[in-house]
Structure 1
Amino acid sequence: MSAASCLLTEDQFLCSICLDVFTDPVSTPCGHNFCKTCITKHWNTNVPCQCPNCKQVFYTRPELQVNIFISEMAAQFRQSAQQKASSSSSEQQVAKPGEVPCDVCTGTKLKALKSCLVCLASYCETHLEPHLTASRLKRHQLIDPVENLEGRMCTKHDKLLELFCKTDQTCVCLLCTVLDHKTHEFVPLKEEYEDKKAELEKTEAETQQLIQERRLKIQEIKRSVELSKEDADREIAAGVQVFIALKESAERSQAELIDTIREKQRKTEKQAEGFIQELEQEISELKKRSSEVEQLSRFEDHLHLLQSLPSLNAAPSTKDWTEVSVRPPSYEGTVVRAVNQLEETLRKQMKKLFEAKLKRVQQYAVDVTLDPDTAQPRLILSDDGKQVKLGDVKKNLPDNTERFDTCAIVLAKQSFSSGRFYYEVQVKGKTAWDLGVVRESVNRKGQITLSPQNGYWTIWLRNENEYEALADPAVCLSLKSQPETVGVFVDYEEGLVSFYDADAAALIYSFTGCCFTEKLYPLFSPCPNHGGKNSAPLIISPVSHSE
C-alpha cells in the first residue's frame, strides 16, 4: 500500500469541490470521486443532480456509500502529507507578529509564502504544494502573501476585483463592468497599478528633491549663521582693539596732562622756595645788624658810643624786592592739547576700522556694465560699457519703457535681488555727478525726484564740493577730502546702501533700514558739462582691494 501510494500524485486525492484531500470519499455512478459532504451539499442546491466533473445528469438521486479503498488511500496520503509537513515545519519559519500566517496550518501557524486570489487563502510552503502540482490549481492566481484577502472581493457581486474604473476611480469586478459601471472606462488593475506606481515614484522623487533642497537650505542657513558669527567676532575683536587703544591713549594723555601740570607747579614751588630762602637770609642778616644797632643805642656814655660806631658792621647788601613776585603758571591749552591728541588717536583708529571694513566689502565686488537701452539719448557710452558722459547732441533712439528720456541717467545691465554686491566708480575731475541704486519699477520719464520714497538711494556732487545724500530729507555731507573713486556697497537683506571714498578708505554715507522687495540696478549720472568743466566721464573701474 505504501509503495502504491508513492506512485500516486496528490492531485488524485483532491476533491474537485473543496480542493482538499478526500474526507469520506464516495463515487458517483459516472465514476468520479468526491467528499461525501461536498457532493451532498452540491446536490442539495442543484436539481436535477449532476456530476460536477462530467456534467452527467442523474434524474434519480444516487445512493452514495463511502469507498473504503479510496478512503484508506486518502487517509494514508493525508498521514504521509502530515508527516512531511511536520518534518519540514522545523525548516520553515513560524509566522511572527505582522507576518501573514498560513490559513491551513493547525496549531502553530507557519509563515505564508503565497496567497491565492481564487481560494482567498494564504499557504505555507507545505500547503502551497497542491497549487504548484495539481493541474486545476496551477491555474489559480498566486501573489505575495497578504492579509484580508476578502477585501479583494467585490462586496456586491462576490467576485474578484480585477479591473479599475477610471471614471469612478475604484476597483471593480467583471460583473461591475456590465452592470453598475456599464459605460465607464476600465483598465486592468496591473496597468493602473503601474501608472499609479510611476506617479508615486515621481512624487517620491519630487518629495526627495524638496527634502534635499531644504537640507541644502538648512546648510545654507547654518553657514550664514557661521559667517554672521565670524563677522560678529571680527567686529567685536576690532572694536575691543579700538577701545583698548583709546583707553590706553586716554590714560596716557591723562598721565601726560597730570605730569605737565604738576611739573609746572613744581617749578613754581621751587622758584618760591628760592625767593623765600633768599629773603630769610636777608632777614637773618638784618636782624643781626638790628641787634648791634640796638646795643649801641643803649650806651649813655657819649664818648663810648662815638668810639664804638666805627666797629659797627656795614649794612648788609639787600635786593630790591618791589618788582619780585611768584606768578601761578598758566595751564591754558593743556587739556585742549591732550584732548586733541586723543582725537588724533581716535581718528587713526577709525581709519583702520574703515580700511578693514572696506577690505571686507570689496570681497563682494561684481562686474558691472552700462545698459544702452536705459541711457538718456544725450548720453555717450563707451564700447566696453564702462564709461559714460553727456554729449551735446540728442541721439534718435527708440523711446522704450526702460529708457530715461529727460534726466541724464543710465542703469547697469546687471540687477540684484539678494545678497551683497560692491562696485567702484571713478569720479576724478568731475564737478557734478549722481551715483546709487534704484529699484526696477522706478519712473523713468520726465523730471525725477531722487529719493528713497521714489525708489532711488543716491548721493550727488554739485558745484565742485557740495555733497548730499538724497534721503528724506536730503543730508548735507561734510567731507575732509574730495573722493576720486566712490565705492557703492549694498546688502539686500540687511537693507543697507553704503558709499565709500575708496582711496581714503572712508565712509561717505549709509542708507540704513531700507526695505527692498524688487530687483536693484546701479545708477549713473555724469550730469551736464557746465561749459566743459564737467566733461570728464564716469568710469566703472576695476576694484583694487585695499591693503
Structure 2
Amino acid sequence: MSAASCLQSEDLFMCSICLDVFTDPVTTSCGHNFCKTCITQHWNSNVQCVCPLCNKVFCTRPELKVNAFISEIAAEFRQSTKNKASIRSEEPAAKAGEVQCDVCTGTKVKAIKSCLKCEASYCQTHLEPHLTAARLKSHQLIHPVDNLEDRMCKKICVYLICPVVILLCLYMLGADFYTKNHEFVPLTEECEGKKAELKKTLVEIQQKIQQIRLKIHEINQSEKLSREAADRKKAEGLQIFTTLKQRVEDIQADFMETVEEQRKSIEKQAEDFIKELQQELSELTVIAAEVEKLLRSGDYLHLLQSFSFISTAPTPKDWTQVRVHQRSHEGSLEKAVAQLEETISKEVKKLLKKVELKRVQQFAVDVTLDPNTANLYLILSDDEKQVHLGDVLKNLPDQPQRFEKIGVLGKQSFSSGRFYFEVQVKGKTHWILGVTTETSKRKGGFKRSPQECYWTLCLFENKLFGFDDPPVDLSLKSRPEKVGVFVDFEEGLVSFYDVDAAALIFSFTGCSFTHKLLPYFSPSLYVDNTNYAPLIISAVSHTE
C-alpha cells in the first residue's frame, strides 16, 4: 500500500477529537463517529451537548452505543498495522537527531510517540499496548521528544509553554520571583484548554471547508446546467437552421429548374425560327441562282418561259417583327424570393412552436387517476390511465373528495415548480381538462373556471374554449386529438397545447396558486349517442 493510501485509510478510522484510531467508536444521530471516551469527556466539559464536527445541538444527551461495525474495522486496521510491524525483517535504526525508542533492545528504532505518563518514547511496534490496553489508553501521547524525564514538569507558567523556557526563567529570575509574579497551572490542564481551542478552530475550519465544497458543487452544478442549456439551444438552433437550409435549397432548385425550363423554351423557339429561316434561305438561294442563270442566258425564248415561273414564286416572310422573347425570365427571381420569404416565415413559426413544446415536455410527470375522487358513473382502467362514462351508478361511499359532477382527479399533487402531462382526446366530442386545487369544490353547482379554482380547457358542441368567466372562444381549424397541459406554479401559468400540431392552444396567465394543484379530467356525458371514447393519459413522446 502506498503512503497516500495508508494516510487515507488511517483518516477513515481516526477520531476527530483525539486524532487517533477509534477506540470503542460511537455514532451520534447526526452521523459522526468518535471514541466513546472522547465524546463523553467533551460533553462533560461543556454546558450543551454539541457535535464537535457539525455543531448540532442535542436537547438531551444522546444514549451512546458502541458501533460494532466500525469498532471491528478499526480493530482490524490496528491489528493489520501491528502485523505489518511484526513481520518486518528489520526496521531501520534511528538517524542522528531523531528520538529513539526507549524499549528497543539492540538497534534503536525511531520513536513515533512519547508518553507523558510513562515518561518514555515508543516506536510503532512498542506503542501498540498504549493503543489496545485499557489501562494505557488514558495515557497522554505527544510527538516524540528527547530526555523526556528531564523536561517533564507538573506545573507550568500559563504564559510560557516550553518546559525548557520555564527552567531558564527559574534560573535567571529566581524561584521566589517566579512564584510571586507568575500563575501556575497543571500541564495537563493547560493542554486541555489549548486542545479545546484547537478543536473549536478545527470545527470552524471544517465548516469553512464544507462551505467551500458546497460552493464548488454549486458552481459546478450551475456550469453543468448552463452547458446543458447551451447544448439544448445549439441542438434546437441546428434543427431550425438545417430545416431552413433545406427549404432554401428546395426553393433554389425550383427556381433554377424554372429558369432552365424557360431557357429551353426560348432555345426551342429560336431553333424553330432558325430552321424556318434556313428553309426560306435555301429556297431563295435556288431562285437567285435561277435568276442569275437567266440573266446570263442568250436564249430569249427560255427567259420568257421561265420568267412567269419565277415571278409567281412565294413571297418571302417578313421577319422584321419576329423576336425571341426574353421577357419570359422577368419576375422569376422576385417570385422565388417572395416564395422563400413566405416559406421561411412559416417554417420558423412552425419550428419555434416545436421548440416551445419540446421545452415544456422536459417537465413531463407520471400522472395516474385517483379512484377515491371519481364520480360514481365513471369507469377507470386497471392501470388508472383511462376514464370513460359508464351506465351504472357504483355502490360506493360518497366521500367528501368524490365529485358529484362528472370528473376525477390525478393522484399526484404539486406545490411548486413546473409539470406537464398529455391526454388523448381522439374520438370525443365533449371533454374538460386542466388542473384544480386540493381544496376546490366537489359537490353542488360550481363552474370549472378560475373563479372556482379550476383552470380548464373545454370542448363542447364542437367548440373549443378556455373555461373562464366569460368563456374564451377559441377558433381552431381542427380539433386536437392529443392535448398537453403545462403548469408553472411560481409564474402562475397554465397552458394547453395541441401536441400533434405542436401549437399553443390557450393559456391562463397571472394565476395565484395558494394550495397544491392536481390534474383534472372530465370525459363528459354522452351526447346524441356519441362521446363514448375514453380520456387516456398518454406517455410523453418528445417532439422531434
- Calculate the TM-score normalised by the size of structure 1: 0.49
TM-score (norm 2): 0.49
Structure number, greater radius of gyration? 1
